[in-house]
Amino acid sequence: MESNNGIQEVGKFAATYDTNFPRILHELNSTLILTTYQAGRTIFLSSDTGERILQIPAGFKKPMGVSILDKKLAIATLDEIHVFSGSEKLAEYYPENPNTYDIMYVPRATYYCGETDLHDLGFGKGGLWAVNTKFSCLATFDVNYSFNPRWKPPFISALAPQDRCHLNGMAMKDQVPAYVTALGTTDTKQGWRENIISGGVLMSVPDGEIIVQDLPMPHSPRLYNGQLYVLLSATGDLVRVNVEDRSYEKIVNFPGLIRGMSIHGDYAFIGVSKVRESSKTFHKLPVSTMSKKAGIIVVDLKQKAIVSRFMYDSTVDEIYDVQLLQGFRKPGLITTRDERHKTAISTKSGAFWIKKEKKENEQTS
């Protein structure tokens, strides 16, 4: 059952949450990472005591999909993918606040992919995979091109920057994409918008078979312990899919737009977004009048019930992705906008913070 003991987090990212929320994160020894493209932030939510929530927001241009593998962290943004590497040693000796964080993420690579509207990300075989929504395909990345198209749905006739079916979600299995979601099966520019409420599909990769169709805005397919879960954003349903008989069962319903999910143990952490009144896409949805706040709900999959909530009172209105960083309660993140990342040096055998030397009377010729 949910606890009603609300705690208020003061500041720009004010939020209300019940006592279960920090307790669950603390017990899992984990940090929740969410992206809000509307607010331009990737936010770490964690609890060092089990009684309060710590928030660390980092600024990005339209952050979307997030992927975590070992100590690597990737974040898709408006026109770039940022790849970070985490180091406990850099955290331990962080000059400004030593022994404050238990891991420090610093930038190690950036892919300049252009405005391709990347959605879900996944580290896997062949590098970093992404759902390239604008070009209706799955892609990987290297130093040669903006992206390398690796797969497209059978009904897409050609790669073009037209967002033909709004391919959005991706579930990985054995380090390769296994299932994807799309909001339609159309092959024209933004054709999916014509039937946004019930035109969605879940497909298998690489054969492109449609497992389930007529779905209300499917997002965030996730495989966990051999079970496939999907969010139906338009109706607020978390469902479990039976791939063999191509059906699904409803686990729980939340009266709001749900999108972004991470599962660990018995818990599913799910993002909730506020529906913009000005949105031509979302105002038609069944949940449009019910989705008044953005935040995170926690579902106990065994109980099939919502057991906790973390809801923003200001600043954050829309959430795209939710990922659980396991094993760390106080992560730090330094982005490329912060000059301090240039002083963070790490190798296989050590980690160092380099002091910048002041050069006097420096001349150029």
Position 365 scores a pLDDT of 39
pLDDT(356) > 90: no
- Residue found by looking up tokens 């038609």 in the block: 284
For the stretch 308-343, pLDDT in tens is 999 999 899 999 999 999 999 999 999 999 999 999
Amino acid at 92: E
User: E strands within 103-256?
Assistant: 103-111, 118-124, 127-132, 137-140, 148-151, 167-173, 176-182, 200-204, 210-215, 218-224, 227-232, 237-242, 247-253
Residue 2 pLDDT greater than 60, yes or no: no
User: pLDDT value at position 7?
Assistant: 42
For 206-220, write each residue's pLDDT tens digit: 999 999 999 999 999
Q: What pLDDT, on a 0 to 100 scale, did the predictor assign at position 135?
A: 98
Query: Can you tell me the distance from the alpha carbon of 161 to that of 166, in angstroms, rounded to the nearest whole number?
Result: 11
Give residue 1's pLDDT: 39
What are the tens digits of pLDDT across the range 88-108? Answer: 999 999 998 888 999 999 999
Separation of alpha carbons 36 and 274, rounded Å: 11
Strand 322-326, strand 331-333: pairing: unpaired
Global confidence as pTM = 0.93
When the pLDDT of each residue in the chain is averaged and rounded to a whole number, the result is 92
Return the pLDDT at 359.
Answer: 56
Per the structure block, which two tokens stand in for 224? 């966990």
Task: Give residue 230's identity as a one-letter amino acid code.
Answer: V
In this predicted model, what pLDDT tens digit does every residue of 150-197 receive, in sequence order? 999 999 999 999 999 999 999 999 999 999 999 999 999 999 999 999
Q: What is the mean pLDDT of residues 351-364?
A: 69
- Write down all domains in the chain, each with its CATH number in brackets: 30-343 (2.120.10.30)
As a whole number of angstroms, the distance between CA 292 and CA 41 comes to: 20
Query: How far is Cα 55 from Cα 68, in angstroms, rounded to an integer?
Result: 19
pLDDT for residue 291: 73
Q: Are 346 and 87 in contact (CB under 8 A)?
A: yes
DSSP state of 317: -
Whether residue 6 is predicted with pLDDT greater than 50 in this model: the reply is no
Q: In this model, does residue 3 exceed pLDDT 90?
A: no
Q: Are 93 and 344 in contact (CB under 8 A)?
A: no
pLDDT digits (tens, 9 = 90+) for 110-160: 999 999 999 999 999 989 999 999 999 999 999 999 999 999 999 999 999
Per-residue confidence band for 4, with pLDDT thresholds at 50, 70 and 90: very low
Q: Which of 69, 58, 72, 66 is closest to 261 using CA atoms?
A: 66
Strands 103-111 and 331-333: parallel
Determine what percent of the chain is predicted with pLDDT higher than 90.
Answer: 86
pLDDT of 172 reads 97
Rg (Cα) of the chain, in Å, rounded?
21
Confidence band, pLDDT 50/70/90 cuts, at residue 360:
low
Q: Which two tokens stand for residue 288?
A: 């449009």
For the stretch 31-82, pLDDT in tens is 999 999 999 999 999 999 999 999 999 999 999 999 999 999 999 999 999 9
Residue 331 sits at the vertex; the CA angle it makes with 327 and 334, to the nearest 5 degrees, is 145
**265 three-state secondary structure:** coil
Distance CA 309, CA 298 (A): 6
Average pLDDT estimate for 294-302: 97
Q: Max alpha carbon distance in the chain (Å)?
A: 75
Distance CA 215, CA 45 (A): 31
Q: Are 287 and 256 in contact (CB under 8 A)?
A: yes
Q: How confident is the model at residue 286 (pLDDT cuts 50, 70, 90)?
A: confident
Q: Is the pLDDT of residue 362 over 60?
A: no
Read off the tokens for 230. 């999907």
Q: What percent of the chain has pLDDT over 70?
A: 93
Alpha-carbon distance of 57 to 32, in angstroms, equals: 12
